[in-house]
């Protein structure tokens, strides 16, 4: 046996990926965590331990912004779970009917918003909802609901929910496709066995299909969670770095961006930025761990 | 139609819901596109009307072409996307092959290490990435973006490709070995061609997020000559925010390339998602 | 009473007609097997009976009621699928109970029926397991149990043994036969395996290209096939067919002779060369080639010392032969004798 011989080809195959991944992703990740323990005094980097976090959670000027952004972020996520996934499941369930014609056409069209950039999506909806252009009020007028119109993106109470719904509009294609795939993978014979047992229509959905697509719903939920907690682009494109009106749409991504780069009169602070990034890291890590150990292990993947 | 079992009304309702949602999905794109070809007054007077002889105008596009360097932005986006995809696929496939093919100490651990990045977004490390790019002089170069997107795409690429490479028959590779092929030849000549469909899936998955990203171009390469199309249109629209013709035209210009890519690759993309590659 | 009556049942998928004018009766308590090569429409016919497919025309009567417009669950049938089609997210018990719950049967009734089925199929120890934790044979028994608890007027089996290995297949076959005796239920069973058909059926229906070729008891079909297709389809090794001209018959007719009715003999009428020998221990199958190139299989009882390339003579009793016309139809003895007479 020559097991002790170094297998160079394995190293050659692994090296590029591991090097790039480590250098650009892992090292900066930990470096960011490390930077959050420093601050800058007279252009010198000095170690301050958890001082930045004490500021972030303790100093009312910071903590207010942080809790506001975190709360907004949870609301943003909540709207996604509440609206995006049910719509995605509904569309997928409709599309998976083998007798439905034009299914590929619907699928392709409904996926279009997902491929557009946040800049396009943000501005397009901003224009459509804008009171200046008047498409939204006019359309509501046409169905006699004109009195409902408000400049939703401009009001503190409604702007965050409106942006969340725009984001749902953009991304509903992803849960739709994943659930659609999961539904297609259920063998016909199981549904036919259900039919012989009298389980058809809605009860076939609730009693057979839904339990079988639960693992996919779990994956979609964690993908949504991670995506929402590092979201930035849509808010930035539609409302700018200030996440107006009056920070009503500020989420962790925009908060970190402002802190890191500075805005208006405040100077950028990479160390506080790192502290916020670390907080985001911990939140995402908790979410992923909850999913991996709490949800995924309990959900069975079914072998058909 | 099966009378005994299925209610035609259900199918009718299904079409109804899907048509409504399709309209909701396409309406904003449609409104932007038609209004970009209208002169200013018609945009406001009849936003939902198609451009006709009277209202037709390309004044917005003229502003876009005169004021913004959209061709350069487009070129930057293209270079960044193509180069990033190339490295993601090459490095990803190599690492996936090593993990799928060889039993070595730490194989599982290496797989887990590379899979970490699937769930943890690379944006968390932005502060340190910027610092590194500044100190290596890569800031405001397209290389900064290419490196970041390569690192971002690798975890999922390795994961998907190694799943597929495990399915390549051992007999085939062993036949190659008996014929005296080196491990490198086996990888490039025998295995890569067989996992081409999976490579295409990975490419399509990565293409859209790279093309559409705003965060890293904004932070790592905001200089005029390295702006991507996404950042370029963001900045342009911000400057011309009151010039509705220009804004609508710029949006249409930004929509066009992705739509073309989508039309070309939509089947691949949808097949990729539905094949369960991301489960 | 008849359990199932099919009257002029036709089925088309678009322009392709897959079932042609099927007429059939299944008596109460009868075990009927549909057999035929793949693509003959046997599974489609079963699905039409179950209601999973609609008949394009014709009438389906189950237990005296016309059920053309009745959904599967209300037809009084239960079906056992080829892939078992167990609900993967439910336990064995819940799999069996789901249909009853849907019918809103009282709880203790459900309990009792599940317990009874579990006892009958020895599933008692597995009631709380999920399908993925069971072996193939156990899954098959759960699938049968799910049908049994519904107390259907008619059981439908769609190639239920084809996913099992050979040994298990035999056990399960015996179990199904036993179940049929115990329940005294009417059953329709689809298979392409003639051993299953021969051993299980009271009545076999041979299908080809969507048409019924022959209906009858296993021995009827074996001893008295209606045409060349049925003759060749049932029996293993299958019947030999030779041009009748070789033994002095009419030139456009065919003679069929089963391998076990042929003997090697020094004075045989047909000269042949041995092309291959299969020694099975109990039997010996000798493949021979006649001078004109016709292949024949000779099945000999016991062990025989025959080697390839050996020249042999084969012979058979004319009483054991079947005669078929140019289009495969059976020529009854009278007609054959008449043509023979004309020839001589």
In a domain, A148, yes or no: yes
Residues in chain B with CB shorter than 8 Å from the CB of A113 are 25, 28-29
On chain B, the residues whose CB falls within 8 A of the CB of A128 are 28, 31
Q: Could you tell me if C17 lies within 8 Å of chain B, comparing CB atoms?
A: no
Mean pLDDT across A22-32 = 93
What was the ipTM of the complex prediction?
A: 0.86
In a domain, A45, yes or no: no
pLDDT at C239 (0 to 100): 93
Q: Are strands C65-66 and C77-80 parallel, antiparallel or unpaired?
A: unpaired
pLDDT digits (tens, 9 = 90+) for A146-169: 777 788 888 888 899 999 999 999
Q: Is residue A7 part of a domain?
A: no
Residue C30 has pLDDT above 90, yes or no: yes
Q: Residue B27, class by beta-carbon neighbours within 10 Å (0-12 exposed, 13-18 middle, 19+ buried)?
A: middle
pLDDT single digits (tens) C160-171: 988 888 888 888
Q: A192: nearest CA in chain C?
A: C52
Average pLDDT, chain C: 89
Cα of B18 to nearest chain A Cα, Å? 7
Cβ-Cβ contacts under 8 Å for C343 (sequence gap 6 or more) = C248, C249, C250
Contacts of B2 in chain C (CB under 8 A): 53-54
Give tens-digit pLDDT for A184-207. 888 889 999 998 888 888 888 889
CB contact under 8 Å between A193 and C71, yes or no, is no
Q: What pLDDT score does B276 carry?
A: 54
Per-residue pLDDT reduced to its tens digit, B231-264: 988 888 888 877 888 888 888 888 888 888 888 8
Domain count, chain A: 1
Residue A109: give its domain's CATH number. 1.10.3720.10
Is the pLDDT at C318 greater than 90? The verdict is no
Rounded Cα–Cα distance for residues C77 and A198 (Å) = 11
Q: Would you state the pLDDT for residue A304?
A: 60
Is residue C53 within 8 Å of C30, Cβ to Cβ?
no
C-alpha to C-alpha distance for B216 and B142, rounded to whole angstroms: 11
* Assigned CATH topology for domain C2-229: Rossmann fold (3.40.50)
pTM (2 decimals)? 0.83
Supply the pLDDT for residue A2. 47
A203 at interface of C, judged by CB pairs closer than 8 A: yes
pLDDT at C337 over 70: no
Please tell me the predicted confidence (pLDDT) of residue C29: 92
Across residues C27-51, what is the average pLDDT?
92
Domains of chain C by residue range: 2-229, 239-343
Q: In percent, how much of chain A has pLDDT > 70?
A: 96
Residues 6+ apart with CB under 8 A from B44: A133, A134, B244
Do the Cβ atoms of B104 and A7 come closer than 8 Å? yes
Pairing of strands C154-158, C77-80: parallel
Other C-beta atoms lying within 10 Å of the C-beta of residue B72: 16
- The CATH number of the structural domain formed by C239-343 is 2.40.50.140
| Mean per-residue pLDDT, B262-274 | 76
Cβ contact (<8 Å) for B215 and A232?
Answer: yes
**CB-CB neighbors (< 8 A) of C94 in chain A:** none
Q: Domains along chain B? A: 8-57 (no CATH), 68-274 (1.10.3720.10)
**Nearest partner of A167 among A216, A124, A106, judged by Cα:** A124
pLDDT, tens digit (0-9, with 9 covering 90-100), for C228-254: 999 999 888 899 998 888 877 777 889
Q: Which residue of A2, A105, A120 is the best one to mutate when testing the B interface, meaning the one whose CB has the most B CBs within 10 A?
A: A120
- State how far residue C259 is from chain A, nearest Cα, in angstroms: 40
Interchain proximity B4–C71, CB inside 8 Å: yes
A106 vs A301, more confident? A106
Q: Name the one residue in this structure whose structure tokens are 């049910």.
A: A86
Q: Identify the pLDDT of residue C344.
A: 46
CA A104, distance to chain mean position in Å, is 26
Instruction: Express the helix, strand and coil content of chain C in percent, nearest 5 each.
Output: 35, 35, 35
Q: Is the pLDDT of residue A3 over 60?
A: no
Are the CB atoms for C80 and C156 separated by under 8 Å? yes
Cα distance between residue B221 and residue B213, in whole Å: 12
What pLDDT score does C249 carry?
75
Side-chain-side CA neighbours of residue A120 (13 Å) = 31
Distance of CA A44 to the CA centre of its chain: 37
Q: Distance (Å, rounded) from C-alpha B252 to C-alpha B229?
A: 12
pLDDT in tens, B189-231: 889 988 888 888 888 888 888 998 999 999 999 998 999 988 9
In this predicted model, what pLDDT tens digit does every residue of B150-162 receive, in sequence order?
Answer: 999 999 999 989 9
Identify the residue with better confidence: C1 or A226.
A226
Instruction: Flag whether pLDDT at A174 surpasses 50.
Output: yes
CB contact under 8 A, B2 and C72: no
| % of residues, chain C, pLDDT over 90 | 53
* A296 confidence band (pLDDT: 50, 70, 90): confident
| B2 contacts C53? CB cut-off 8 A | yes
Whether residue A3 lies inside any domain: the answer is no
**C-alpha distances out from residue C318 to C73, C238, C296, C313, C338, Å:** 53, 18, 16, 16, 15
The 10 Å CB-count burial string (b at 16+, else e) for A262-271 is eeeeeeebbb
pLDDT at residue B18 tops 90: yes
> What domain range is A175 assigned to?
69-296
Q: What is the pLDDT of residue A300?
A: 64
């Amino acid at each position: 046996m020559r097991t002790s011989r170094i297998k160079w080809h394995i190293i050659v195959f692994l090296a590029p990926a591991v090097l790039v991944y480590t250098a650009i992703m892992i090292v900066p990740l930990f470096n960011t965590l490390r930077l959050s323990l420093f601050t800058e005094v007279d252009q010198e980097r000095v170690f301050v331990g958890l001082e930045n976090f004490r500021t972030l959670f303790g100093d009312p000027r910071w903590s207010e912004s942080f809790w506001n952004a975190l709360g907004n972020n949870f609301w943003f996520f909540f709207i996604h779970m509440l609206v995006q996934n049910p719509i995605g499941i509904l569309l997928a369930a409709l599309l998976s009917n083998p007798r439905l014609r034009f299914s590929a056409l619907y699928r392709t069209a409904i996926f279009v918003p997902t491929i557009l950039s946040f800049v396009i999506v943000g501005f397009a909806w901003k224009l459509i909802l804008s009171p200046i252009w008047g498409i939204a009020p006019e359309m509501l007028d046409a169905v006699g609901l004109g009195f409902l119109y408000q400049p939703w993106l401009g009001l503190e109470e409604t702007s965050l929910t409106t942006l969340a719904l725009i984001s749902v509009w953009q991304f509903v294609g992803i849960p739709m496709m994943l659930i659609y795939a999961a539904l297609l993978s259920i063998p016909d014979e199981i549904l036919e066995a259900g039919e012989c047992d009298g389980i058809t229509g809605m009860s076939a959905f609730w009693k057979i299909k839904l339990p079988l697509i639960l693992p996919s719903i779990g994956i979609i939920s964690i993908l949504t969670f991670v995506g929402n907690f590092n979201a930035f682009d849509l808010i930035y494109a539609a409302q700018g770095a200030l996440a107006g009106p009056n920070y009503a749409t500020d989420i962790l991504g925009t908060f970190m961006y402002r802190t890191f780069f500075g805005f208006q009169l405040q100077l950028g602070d990479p160390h506080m930025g790192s502290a916020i990034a670390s907080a985001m890291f911990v939140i995402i890590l908790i979410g992923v761990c909850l999913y991996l150990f709490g949800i995924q292990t309990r959900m069975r993947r079914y072998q058909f | 139609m099966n009378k005994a079992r299925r209610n035609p009304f259900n199918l009718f309702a299904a079409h109804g819901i899907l048509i409504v949602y399709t309209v909701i999905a396409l309406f904003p794109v449609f409104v932007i596109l038609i209004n970009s070809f209208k002169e200013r007054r018609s945009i406001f007077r009849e936003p939902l009307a198609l451009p006709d002889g009277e209202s037709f105008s390309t004044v917005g596009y003229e502003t876009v072409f005169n004021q913004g360097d959209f061709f350069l932005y487009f070129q930057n986006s293209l270079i960044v996307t193509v180069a990033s995809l190339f490295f993601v696929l090459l490095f990803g496939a190599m690492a996936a092959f090593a993990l799928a093919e060889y039993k070595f100490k730490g194989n599982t651990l290496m797989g887990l290490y590379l899979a970490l990045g699937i769930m943890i977004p690379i944006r968390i490390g932005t502060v340190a990435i910027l610092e590194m790019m500044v100190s290596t002089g890569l800031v405001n170069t397209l290389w900064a973006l290419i490196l970041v997107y390569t690192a971002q795409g690798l975890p999922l690429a390795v994961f998907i490709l190694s799943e597929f490479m495990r399915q390549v028959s051992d007999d085939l590779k062993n036949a190659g070995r008996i014929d005296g092929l080196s491990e490198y030849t086996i990888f490039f000549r025998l295995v890569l061609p067989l996992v081409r469909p999976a490579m295409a899936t990975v490419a399509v998955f990565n293409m859209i997020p790279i093309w559409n990203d705003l965060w890293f171009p904004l932070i790592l390469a905001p200089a005029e000559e390295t702006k991507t199309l996404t950042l370029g249109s963001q900045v342009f629209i911000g400057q011309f925010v009151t010039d509705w013709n220009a804004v609508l035209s710029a949006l249409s210009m930004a929509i066009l390339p992705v739509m073309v890519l989508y039309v070309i690759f939509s089947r691949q993309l949808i097949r990729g998602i539905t094949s369960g590659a991301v489960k | 009473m008849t359990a199932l009556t099919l009257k002029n049942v036709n089925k088309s998928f678009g322009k392709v007609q897959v079932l042609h004018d099927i007429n059939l009766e299944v008596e109460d308590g009868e075990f009927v097997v549909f057999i035929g090569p793949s693509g003959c429409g046997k599974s489609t016919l079963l699905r039409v009976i179950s209601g999973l497919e609609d008949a394009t025309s014709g009438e389906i009567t189950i237990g005296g009621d016309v059920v053309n417009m009745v959904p599967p669950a209300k037809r009084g049938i239960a079906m056992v699928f080829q892939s078992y089609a167990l609900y993967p997210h439910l336990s064995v018990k819940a799999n069996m109970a789901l249909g009853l719950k849907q019918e809103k049967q009282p709880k203790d009734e459900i309990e009792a029926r599940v317990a009874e089925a579990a006892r009958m199929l020895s599933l008692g120890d597995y009631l709380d397991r999920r399908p993925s934790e069971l072996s193939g044979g156990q899954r098959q028994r759960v699938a049968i149990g799910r049908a049994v608890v519904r107390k259907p007027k008619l059981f439908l089996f769609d190639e239920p043994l084809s996913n099992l290995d050979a040994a298990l297949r035999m056990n399960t076959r015996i179990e199904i036969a036993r179940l049929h005796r115990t329940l005294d239920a009417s059953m329709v069973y689809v298979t392409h395996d003639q051993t299953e058909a021969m051993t299980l059926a009271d009545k076999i229906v041979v299908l080809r290209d969507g048409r019924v070729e022959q209906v009858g008891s296993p021995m009827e079909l074996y001893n008295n096939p209606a045409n060349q297709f049925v003759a060749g389809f049932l029996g293993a090794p299958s019947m030999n067919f030779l041009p009748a001209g070789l033994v002095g018959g009419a030139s456009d007719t065919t003679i069929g002779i089963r391998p076990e009715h042929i003997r090697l003999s020094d004075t045989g009428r047909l000269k042949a060369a041995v092309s291959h020998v299969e020694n099975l221990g109990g039997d010996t199958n000798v493949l021979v080639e006649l001078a004109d190139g016709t292949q024949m299989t000779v099945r000999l009882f016991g062990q025989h010392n025959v080697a390839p390339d050996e020249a042999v003579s084969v012979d058979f009793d004319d009483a054991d032969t079947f005669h078929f016309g140019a289009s495969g139809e059976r020529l009854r003895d009278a007609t054959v004798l008449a043509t023979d007479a004309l020839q001589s």
